Amino acid sequence: MFSSWPKSESLMERSRKVVSSTRPDLDGTFPFVVASGLGGYVTDLEGNRYLDLTASTGAVLLGHRHPEVSAATIAAINDVGSMFPTTTSPLLFEVAERLTNMFPSAERALFFRTGSEATTAAIRLARMATGRRTVLTSGYHGWHDWHLQMFPQFRMEDPTHIDFAYNLNLLELLLDRYAGDVACVIVTPDLNFFPHEYFAELRELTSRKGVILIFDEVVTGFRYGMGGFQSSSGITPEMTTLSKGLANGHAISAVVGRAELIEQRDKTHMWGTFNSEVTPLAAAVATLDVFVRDNVPAVLDHVGTALMEGLGALFRSAGVRADAFRVGSDFHIVFEDEDLGQAFYWSCLCRGVLFHRFDRQIVTAAHTLEDVQFALDVAGEALAELEASTPAAFQGWSEPSPEARDLRCLNETGGLMDYRRAVDEIPDMWTLVNQIKELPPSP
Ligand SMILES: Cc1ncc(COP(=O)(O)O)c(C=O)c1O
CA of 230 to the centre of ligand 1 (A): 18
Mutate to test the pocket of ligand 1, among 112, 113, 117, 119 (most ligand atoms within 8 A of CB): 119
The per-residue pLDDT for 430 is 52
CA of 248 to the centre of ligand 1 (A): 15
Segment 17-44 shows an average pLDDT of: 86
Segment 393-412 shows an average pLDDT of: 91
Mutate to test the pocket of ligand 1, among 23, 151, 218 (most ligand atoms within 8 A of CB): 218
The per-residue pLDDT for 358 is 85
**What residues are paired with 134 via a beta bridge?**
182
Q: With a cut of 70, say whether residue 434 has pLDDT above it.
A: no
Predicted confidence (pLDDT) per residue in 245-286, tens digit? 999 999 999 999 999 999 999 999 999 999 999 999 999 999
CA of 424 to the centre of ligand 1 (A): 31
Segment 141-156 shows an average pLDDT of: 86
Predicted confidence (pLDDT) per residue in 353-371, tens digit? 999 988 899 999 999 999 9
3-state helix/strand/coil string of the chain: CCCCCHHHHHHHHHHHCCCCCCCCCCCCCCCCCEEEEEECEEEECCCCEEEECCHHHHCCCCCECCHHHHHHHHHHHHHCCCECCCCCCHHHHHHHHHHHHHCCCCCEEEEECCHHHHHHHHHHHHHHHHCCCEEEEECCCCCCHHHHHHCCCCCCCCCCEEECCCCHHHHHHHHHHCCCCEEEEEECCCCCCCCHHHHHHHHHHHHHHCCEEEEECCCHHHCCCCCHHHHHHCCCCCEEEECCCCCCCCCCEEEEECHHHHHHHHHCCCCCHHHHECHHHHHHHHHHHHHHHCCHHHHHHHHHHHHHHHHHHHHHHHCCCEEEECCCCEEEEEECCHHHHHHHHHHHHHCCEECCCCCCEECCCCCCHHHHHHHHHHHHHHHHHHHHHCHHHCCCCCCCCHHHHHHHHHHHHCCCCCCCCCHHHCCCCCHHHHHHHHCCCCC
CA of 308 to the centre of ligand 1 (A): 23
Report d(CA 292, CA 82) in Å as an integer.
Answer: 25
The per-residue pLDDT for 178 is 95
CA of 58 to the centre of ligand 1 (A): 10
What is the atom index within ligand 1 of the atom nearest the CA of 113?
10
Report d(CA 108, CA 99) in Å as an integer.
Answer: 9
DSSP H helix total and E strand total for the chain = 15, 14
CB 423, CB 169: distance < 8 Å: yes
Burial class (CB in 10 A: 0-12, 13-18, 19+), 350: middle
Reported as a pLDDT band with limits 50, 70 and 90, residue 21 is low
CA of 443 to the centre of ligand 1 (A): 32
Predicted confidence (pLDDT) per residue in 314-336, tens digit? 999 999 999 999 999 999 999 99
Residue nearest to atom 4 of ligand 1 (CA): 141
CA of 317 to the centre of ligand 1 (A): 36
What is the atom index within ligand 1 of the atom nearest the CA of 188?
1
Query: Ligand 1 — pocket residues by CB below 6 A?
Result: 57, 114-116, 119, 140-142, 188, 216, 218-219, 243
Q: With a cut of 60, say whether residue 436 has pLDDT above it.
A: no
What is the atom index within ligand 1 of the atom nearest the CA of 217?
1
The per-residue pLDDT for 429 is 47
**What residues are paired with 253 via a beta bridge?**
112
By percentage, how much of the chain surpasses pLDDT 70?
A: 95
Domains and CATH numbers, the chain: 1-36 (no CATH), 67-293 (3.40.640.10), 295-333+342-361+370-400 (3.90.1150.10)
Mean pLDDT over each residue of the chain, to the nearest integer: 93
Residue nearest to atom 13 of ligand 1 (CA): 142
Reported as a pLDDT band with limits 50, 70 and 90, residue 61 is very high
